[in-house]
């Protein structure tokens, strides 16, 4: 298969992933299920072993891994990183722009949570997830193999994020930062 044909197949696979996830997000009322499916779909569409959705917690000024794909027990719902430019996900959150790190081993500006080393994470892309009154958090894909992400990968995650925002009405509930945290305790489960 030629390189161009491989790129076309990858783009078609990613488009199908966005469409399928959008339908799922519109039908599903459980926020944790939506977040977990988002992590799985992103990881599979970009052929990476790990993905996560981090929720901003204003009182702690951090990003809690609320849902994920590929992580062992003890990561999702427990691991946090600072919501500032000291980490890739914090950088995306603080700037509102995608944060791409093709090789974390060469990034001397990041303070990474210890689990990155435990999983051998070396390449990441992060995009902010917008909410109604403040950013909800960050969507991140993680690779334990060094990879030079291209513009198509970034566009997929940005497009996926837009589908995620449009399909997940839970992120647009009108609430203050304090009630935002209370409403999402227990990894984002909501009643009803």
Three-class SS state of 85: coil
Q: Please give the Cα distance from 99 to 105 (Å, whole number).
A: 15
In 3D, which of 85, 88, 82 has the Cα closest to residue 103? 88
Taking the complete model, does pTM exceed 0.75, yes or no?
yes
Cβ-contact 123, 149 below 8 angstroms:
yes
Domains recognised in the chain with CATH numbers: 3-183 (3.30.450.40)
Three-state secondary-structure class, residue 101: strand
pLDDT tens per residue across span 28-49 = 888 888 889 999 999 998 999 9
Instruction: Considering only the C-alpha atoms of the chain, give the largest distance between any 2 of them, rounded to a whole number of Å.
Output: 53
**CA–CA distance, 189 with 134 (Å, rounded to integer):** 19
Residues with Cβ within 8 Å of residue 178, at least 6 apart in sequence: 58, 59
**Could you tell me the pLDDT band of residue 75, with boundaries at 50, 70 and 90?**
very high
Q: CA-based Rg of the chain, rounded to a whole angstrom? A: 16
d(CA 111, CA 87): 5
Report the SS3 class of residue 121: coil
Per-residue pLDDT reduced to its tens digit, 94-126: 999 998 888 888 877 777 878 888 999 999 999
């Amino acid at each position: 298969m030629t390189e161009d044909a491989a790129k076309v197949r990858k783009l078609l696979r990613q488009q199908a992933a966005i469409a399928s996830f959008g339908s799922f997000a519109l039908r599903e009322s459980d926020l944790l299920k939506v977040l977990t499916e988002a992590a799985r779909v992103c990881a599979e569409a970009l052929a990476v072993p790990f993905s996560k959705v981090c929720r901003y917690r204003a009182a702690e000024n951090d990003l809690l891994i609320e849902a994920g794909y590929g992580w062992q027990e003890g990561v999702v719902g427990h691991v946090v990183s600072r919501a500032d430019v000291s980490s890739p996900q914090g950088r995306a959150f603080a700037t509102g722009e995608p944060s791409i790190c093709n090789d974390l081993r060469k990034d001397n500006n990041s303070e990474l949570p210890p689990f990155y080393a435990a999983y051998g994470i070396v390449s990441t892309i992060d995009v902010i997830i917008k909410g109604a009154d403040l950013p909800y958090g960050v969507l991140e894909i993680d690779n334990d193999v060094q990879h030079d992400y291209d513009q198509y990968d970034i566009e997929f995650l940005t497009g996926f994020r837009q589908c995620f925002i449009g399909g997940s009405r839970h992120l647009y509930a009108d609430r203050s930062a304090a009630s935002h945290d209370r409403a999402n305790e227990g990894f984002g489960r909501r009643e009803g």
